[in-house]
Amino acid sequence: MQPHGKHSDYVVWQTEPYNGEPPAALLRQSLVTPLDLFYTRNHGPVPEVDAATYRLSIDGLVRASRSLSLTDLREGFPRVTQTTTLQCAGNRRTDLLAVAPIPGEVPWQDGAISTATWGGTLLRDVLAEAGVDPAARHVAFMGLDHVERHGHDVGFGGSIPLAAALHLDALLAFEMNGAPLTPLHGFPLRLVVPGYIGARSVKWLASLTLQPEPSTQYFQSHAYKVFPPHIGPQTVDWEQGLMLGELSITAAITTPRDGATVPVGPLRVEGYAMAGGSRTVERVDVSSDGGATWQVARLTTPRQVGVWVFWEADVDVPPGGGEIVARAWDSAANTQPEDIRAIWNFKGYMNNAWARVNVHRL
Ligand code: MTE
């Protein structure tokens, strides 16, 4: 066991702020991730919040601003339990780092993704009670944490389109896997936005603001943007860039790991795949010869919006070894790019290139 009750095999990238991920093979053992394995992404220190005096403020383009206690949220609205996967936009950054350096960012492997059964109140129920003005197009969120950037406390926040908040079952969660949220994962209240980058699932939630435009908060308007491969820190214009929101389709191979030596005979390959928005993972293809020939993997967990799927395939590895490759397809027939260089970006976000693992054969 490590600090914060994390698993002894958890990889801690930073202690202040605390950032860590489990080995992906351990994640692949259960659809709902045990708390000791759930990845952690923080930009500042974990705030201490007193549940008794805690209030969630709802303001902006609403009929009347509100300030809700935890009891108001628990007792004033229908209680919902829902299984949702969170994935950091930086998941699988290590493969981008193999193309070119990405200084100053956490070198996430393929474990910055986890799934919980969240308990809470639907955001749309709380918004319905507040009465949303027809001019509102986005819901902006702020957390209670203090995050310093360029000498200023910018806090942590972001926004999602109002339409997404309504149809994607965004949840104001106070429970994770049947227990109250832990401080590390957002106690006493966090947002959980299915199908969106993890950054939009704001922890230690302080406020909801209904507004006509996306949030101008640092982590929406500056960080978490994707730039073309030829742009770097010296040439970037932060006003440009693609503002991240919905996740793209991706897959990872959790066993075998890169560089493994595998026995002669059929080899069991396992992994996960994840789709974004309201799309589902429809199919995963696996190759043991670097993508020359393919077979369709078995999906071993149900296809559900906002939830990863697990897959497996038995492949023959050519004598001398080979490159095992996986690529997923979603319900809009989107699939993953073959060449990682085409999507390389200097902040290292949204790597969804084919997953590749090289193995030697005995
Ligand atoms: N919310 C606040 N207030 N502060 C943060 O630093 N990190 C975000 C999001 N919510 C963050 C936050 C990011 S980038 C991710 S990927 C998820 O929380 C991670 O959630 P977890 O730590 O519970 O896994």
**Does this model's pTM top 0.85?**
yes
Q: Evaluate whether 359 touches 256 at the Cβ level (below 8 Å).
A: yes
Residue with the smallest CA separation from ligand 1 atom 17 is 198
For tokens 């474990």, name the residue.
Answer: 111
Establish whether residue 88 lines the binding site of ligand 1, counting it when its CB lies within 6 angstroms of any ligand atom.
Answer: yes
Query: For the segment 31-67, what is each residue's pLDDT rounded down to a tens digit?
Result: 999 999 999 999 999 999 999 999 999 999 999 999 9
What does DSSP assign to residue 341?
G
Cα distances from 142 to residues 156, 208, 293, in angstroms, run 6, 7, 48
pLDDT category of residue 362 using cuts at 50, 70 and 90: confident
Q: Evaluate whether 79 touches 71 at the Cβ level (below 8 Å).
A: no
What does DSSP assign to residue 163?
H
Query: For the segment 160-188, what is each residue's pLDDT rounded down to a tens digit?
Result: 999 999 998 999 999 999 999 999 999 99
Q: What is the pLDDT of residue 341?
A: 98
Q: What is the pLDDT of residue 1?
A: 74
Query: For the segment 9-30, what is each residue's pLDDT rounded down to a tens digit?
Result: 999 999 999 999 999 999 999 9
Query: CB-based contacts of 213: which residues, under 8 Å, 6+ apart?
Result: 137, 138
Residue with the smallest CA separation from ligand 1 atom 24 is 40
Q: d(Cα 50, Cα 229) in Å, to the nearest integer?
A: 45
Establish whether residue 327 lines the binding site of ligand 1, counting it when its CB lies within 6 angstroms of any ligand atom.
Answer: no
Query: For the segment 99-151, what is each residue's pLDDT rounded down to a tens digit?
Result: 999 999 999 999 999 999 999 999 999 999 999 999 999 999 999 999 999 89
Q: Which whole number is the average pLDDT over 214-221? A: 94
Strand partners, 268: 314
For tokens 């080979």, name the residue.
Answer: 322
In ligand 1, which atom is closest to the CA atom of 185? 23
Q: Evaluate whether 188 touches 49 at the Cβ level (below 8 Å).
A: yes
- Mean of the per-residue pLDDT values for the chain? 97
Categorise residue 128: left if φ over 0, alpha if ψ from -120 to 50, beta otherwise. Answer: alpha
| Cα–ligand 1 centroid distance for 313 (angstroms) | 33
Residue with the smallest CA separation from ligand 1 atom 10 is 202
Query: For the segment 245-304, what is each residue's pLDDT rounded down to a tens digit?
Result: 999 999 999 999 999 999 998 999 999 999 999 999 999 999 999 999 999 999 999 999
For tokens 């197009």, name the residue.
Answer: 137
Least confident of 204-208, 218-222, 283-287, 352-356: 218-222
